[in-house]
Amino acid sequence: MSAPLVTCAGVARTFGAGPTAVVAVHDVTCVVAPQTRAALVGSSGSGKSTLLHLLAGLDAPTAGTLSWPGLGGDHPRIHPGRVGLVFQGPSLIPALTVADNVALPLLLGDSPEADVYSQAVAALDVLGIADLRGRLPEELSGGQAQRVAVARVLAAAPALVLADEPTGQLDHETAATVMGALLTVCDERSAALVIATHDPLIAEHLTEQWHMSDGALTAPAAVLQ
């Protein structure tokens, strides 16, 4: 049996201290297995984004332990590209073209430069926006920019894709395109996928639903340890 990509044991994240402290994530214990297809659902402020950032290694817990045994056992920052995170808001670099934005993580990850731009354009093509590769972010609509952000993650072929409301600013047709691309690429590469969403139409595309409320996570017994 393959090792879990991520394990959380009693993980918590508190911001601030004293009477003004905010507990964003509370006592979360879970496993992200290889090829997971999970919707992380809950209302705004329930802790979904904070949990994704913890799973991605972008933030550190204030209690509990996180490990990435199925990703080589190292923190994700040691091996850039093994975990891909699609942010909720705009995340493109204004001075770079669309193709450069998608290619940048590949260049930082020491991919052969000869292959980088072909990988970037291929990822854009999956999202149906390869024709935008020469544009700057300021020339894109909000929906186009979000698809570029998704392409940037998929181009790096991560073992785990974490997406924070990736369709929240998209119309239904574009949202369906983004979801189809995420699922298709993750299936092709046997990658795990966890999507934070409050949209039941998005959640129904995934085989598992993890529910968050007031920072606490509930999920099927197979997911929780």
Residue 142, helix vs strand vs coil: helix
- Per-residue tens of pLDDT for the chain, all 225 residues: 589 999 999 999 999 989 999 999 999 999 999 999 999 998 888 999 999 999 999 999 999 999 999 988 888 888 778 899 998 877 899 999 999 999 998 888 767 777 899 999 999 998 899 999 999 999 999 889 988 999 999 998 899 999 999 888 788 888 888 888 899 989 988 999 999 998 888 898 899 999 999 999 986 544 544
Token pair, residue 58, equals: 């972008």
For the stretch 147-165, what's the b/e string if a residue is b when 16 or more beta carbons lie within 10 angstroms of its beta carbon?
bbbbbbbbbbbbbbbbbbb
User: Taking Cα atoms as reference points, which of 216, 171, 223, 173 lies closest to residue 194?
Assistant: 223
Tell me the whole-structure pTM to 2 decimals: 0.90
Half-sphere exposure of 49 (CA within 13 A, CB side): 10
List, in order of start, the domains of the chain with CATH numbers: 35-58+75-211 (3.40.50.300)
CA distance 186 to 35: 8
CA distance 198 to 175: 13
**What is the rounded (10 degree) CA torsion for 84, 79, 222, 176?**
10
